[in-house]
Amino acid sequence: MNSRKSKITILFLLITFGISIFVLVIFYRASIERKLPKLQTSDVNTAIRGNIVTKDGFSISSSQKLYKVMLDTRNIDPNKKEMFIKLYSLYSGDDPNKVRKIINGTKGLVTLSYSIDAKGATYLQELSRKLNRKGILISYLDPKTGLASFQGMRVMESGQNRKFMSKDALTPAIGYVSKTESDALTKSKGVKGLERYYEDYLAPIQNAKILGPRDIGNNIILTSDSNLATRVDGYNAVLSVPLKFQTKLEQILDEKREFLDAKELIICIMNSKNGEILALASSSRYDPSNIRKQDYSALNSSASEYAYEVGSVFKPFIFSILLQEKKVNPFELVNTYNGRYQLGKRIIKDTHPEPFMSAEDIIVHSSNIGMIQLVERLNGPQIYQGLLNFGFSRKTGIDLPYEQVGMMPTVTKLNSSTYKATVSYGYGLQATFMQLLKAYNTFNNKGIEVTPHMVAYLERNGKRYDLPKAEPAQVISQETAKIMKRILIKTVEKGTGLKAFTPGLEIGGKTGTAHIASGKGGYSNTYNGSFFGFVNDTRGNSYTIGVLARDPKKPYYYFGAQSALPTFKKAVDLMVEDGYLFPDPNVIAEFEAKKDKLKNDKVKQKPALD
């Protein structure tokens, strides 16, 4: 009996011991497997930020992937270290001394390079395979596991870099980006300009995820089941602006700014029918890839972010309201007091003094006194609502961020004769360059407003995506627009805009000169000069153009006719030269014939010489 119990006890102990050994083996195997290199590996192919592309096909803002190279220095065969350094430096372009210092400085995982481009990454991945085959990279014994460990040289994405191909071209409108860190990768985010406004469209949408068995170099072996998610890049923003034309215009502005000794010159050329911007240029530009301290003042887009008192370019809007309210006949005579008029304690003077002028000639010859007489026919609500309809004190909708809206006097103030008077010739309120351009466009578009925009459409993988458009609004009647257009054409042919005249083209517009507010409740001895107008040809091409010269310091050149108008004329000539406008050859022939006849008549009138 005891013998039987002893046998059972021994058997039980043996079974218990066997089970314990089995459990220990399983546990050991499980722990070892966690330390062994995995047979499968995964990778992420990050999506890229979309490009900004000009009308003529130049990617002026684009992103490129950057890669980093990581290596466990213990994987380098000690006898072939110098061979590794030589080959790596040759493929990467890095300084051999720098590579040697990194390798010798750390025993373990190191990063050899951070900013390798895609082409360089491909070369280095090929080098990694060669290093494995030639035994330059070998496995080492991991003291923690007692097993051989081989990581190889790994080439991994480190982030993306934003490149601006054309340096300062199209700035500040194009804007710039900042670098952000996400999931250990460097990415770009729009801060200003188009980069900021279209951030939600340009930003990458979805990264690709790849899973598969690994090779000895820890690279993924692609199979039919490798792709877990498809890469979806950001949209490309395609501009209505051709780069070649834009840069020529910027060169004109640079020359004019230097000649005028001005703070800045701005010009915008917009399609009058649909609001597409052909060019938006400034003489204050910067390189978005290398922003310096002296560039800070140029980072804001003055066209949409600078509100100022605009001067006489504002007169046509008050005149339009008078026409809308049937308060003026363009041909009636208005007392202009021989160019001298007392308004409260101030004496108002006209540059072209006359005892009387027709109402439309008040615009043609820019009479402040005439405007003071006419604006008295309107009350505060009529002025306020009329200007509101033109878009003043409201955003234009241009596709640039941080747009300012300016300032208009209240209805109560506009009932005051003094406020009416100052507003009638462009003081006592503030507007932006883009507000003026959009408002002037109504005169050349049958009274209908358009929304100025630089991006024509979005594109991805060859497919076009149109952006939503604002519903056009009738700002003034077609009849009022027709009258104003005729008056502004007359202003160019016979008035203050004479320097813009170009035979064979229909050009209208208005000059303006305004004191710059000092910020202390008064005005400094500095000025802004401007010209806003339009140009049409007989082929149906129609453009609205604005020019602003900020604080020109050249003596006697602060008037809009001397500072802004010549730039307008240069721009029109460039548009003809580059095929955006086509002067009527018959009109040119007639003009030349008249000029020759006038010249011959003068020759005939000369007295004969003895």
183 and 295 part of one domain:
no
Residue 580 located in a structural domain: yes
**What average pLDDT does the segment 359-383 reach?**
98
The pLDDT > 70 percentage for the chain reads 89
Residue 39 has pLDDT above 60, yes or no: no
Q: Are residues 234 and 266 in the same domain?
A: no
List all residues 6 or more positions away from 442 whose beta carbon is below 8 Å from its beta carbon. 390, 448, 449, 475, 476, 481
Give the per-residue pLDDT at 184.
Answer: 78
Binned at pLDDT 50, 70 and 90, residue 384 comes out as very high
253 and 226 within one domain: no
Q: How far apart are the first and last CA of the chain?
A: 166
Question: Of 115-129, 177-191, 440-454, where does the model show the most confidence?
Answer: 440-454
Residue 34 forms part of a structural domain = no
For the chain, what is the mean pLDDT?
90
Specify the range with the lowest mean pLDDT, choosing from 342-356, 550-564, 583-597: 583-597
Asked if residue 474 and residue 447 are part of one domain, the reply reads yes
pLDDT digits (tens, 9 = 90+) for 386-422: 999 999 999 999 999 999 999 999 999 999 999 999 9
The pLDDT value recorded for residue 115 is 85
Average pLDDT over residues 287-308: 96
Using CA atoms, how far apart are residues 595 and 109, in angstroms rounded to an integer?
83
C-alpha 501/C-alpha 210 separation (Å) is 64
Range of the domain at 283: 243-594
- Judged by average pLDDT, the poorest of 202-211, 281-290, 350-359 is 202-211
The confidence score (pLDDT) of residue 226 equals 56
Pick the last residue of a domain from 189, 213, 239. Answer: 239
Predicted confidence band of residue 44 (pLDDT cuts 50, 70, 90): confident
Whether 353 has a pLDDT exceeding 70, the answer reads: yes
pLDDT of residue 608: 38
Q: Residue 273 pLDDT more than 90? A: yes
Lowest mean pLDDT among 234-248, 545-559, 578-592, 596-610: 596-610
Residue 69: inside a domain, yes or no?
Answer: yes
Confidence (pLDDT) at 594 = 82
In this model, does residue 35 exceed pLDDT 50? no
Q: Residue 446: pLDDT band by 50, 70, 90 thresholds?
A: very high
Among the candidates 186, 207, 239, a domain finishes at 239
Is there a single domain that holds both residue 235 and residue 247? no
Asked whether residue 315 is assigned to any structural domain, the reply reads: yes
Q: Is residue 118 part of a domain?
A: yes
Same domain, 376 and 467: yes
Domain end marker among 213, 239, 265: 239
Phi/psi for 465 (5° steps) reads -125, 115
* Residue 27, in any domain of the structure: no
Q: What is the mean pLDDT of residues 240-260?
A: 98
Q: Does residue 322 lie in a domain region?
A: yes
> Which pLDDT band holds residue 32 (cuts at 50, 70, 90)?
very low
At 225 the pLDDT is: 57
Report the range of poorest mean pLDDT among 111-125, 331-345, 487-501: 111-125
Same domain, 432 and 457: yes
Give me the sign of the Cα torsion angle 563, 569, 575, 580.
Answer: positive
Kind plus residue range of the DSSP H or E element containing 146: none
Q: Are 305 and 419 members of one domain? A: yes
More confident residue, 93 or 238: 238
> What CATH number is attached to the domain comprising 80?
3.90.1310.10
* Torsion angles phi and psi, residue 115, rounded to 5: -125, 60
Q: Is residue 34 pLDDT above 50, yes or no? A: no
User: 249 and 235 share a domain?
Assistant: no
Please check whether residues 476 and 515 belong to one and the same domain: yes
Domain shared by 259 and 235, yes or no? no
Q: What is the pLDDT of residue 70?
A: 92
Check whether 173 has a pLDDT greater than 80. yes
Number of folded domains that form the chain? 2
Q: What CATH number did the domain enclosing 513 receive?
A: 3.40.710.10
pLDDT of amino acid 107: 87
Cross-sheet strand order for the sheet of 277-282: 277-282, 264-271, 542-550, 523-536, 506-517
The mean pLDDT value for 172-190 works out to: 90
Tokens of 37: 């290199």
Regarding whether 283 and 172 lie in a shared domain, the answer is no
Q: Which residues pair with 561 in a beta bridge?
A: none
184 occurs within a structural domain? yes
